[in-house]
Amino acid sequence: MSSVIIGRPLNRQMDEISSGCKPSLPAGRYIWLDDLIDPISVRDVVTSLIPRVTGAMRIILTEPPPHISPPLKIKVEHGRGIEQNQLPELGKEIEDHIRQLYKVRSKVEFVPPEALGRVTKKTPMFGERY
């Protein structure tokens, strides 16, 4: 797979892309919905590891959506009391879980608790580096 598409897969089926719904994809192109990655599902993997992580995360976009070239880059706040020497194993656990569930390679970068900030409204799911 050369890239994944940000979206919300419903189940494994073929889906015809109609013009206008995904401007970067030509009308009539067929894709497997499994090639879509749901940001909420990625967040669910991360939050399943609380308290080793705070639950705060961002998917880092290095190119404009909807396409993302693997590995999927994810910034995750590690939990309080987690030592630096524990982070590689924790990162591998997240990466393996995402690959097992969604067939997408990922790369986790850890940041300290509160580094991603807090909001009182809808939490952003993405950070941009392009």
Distance CA 57, CA 75 (A): 5
**pTM for the complete prediction?**
0.71
For residue 86, the model assigns a pLDDT of: 98
Other CB atoms closer than 10 Å to residue 75's CB: what's the count?
16
Q: How confident is the model at residue 121 (pLDDT cuts 50, 70, 90)?
A: confident
The predicted pLDDT at position 33 comes to 43
CA dist 79 and 6 (Å) reads 27
Count of CA atoms in the C-beta half-sphere (13 A) of 69: 4
The third-level CATH classification (topology) of the domain covering 38-128 is GMP Synthetase; Chain A, domain 3 (3.30.300)
Which pLDDT score, from 0 to 100, does residue 5 have? Answer: 60
Taking only the tens place, the pLDDT of each residue in 35-52 is 567 888 899 999 999 999
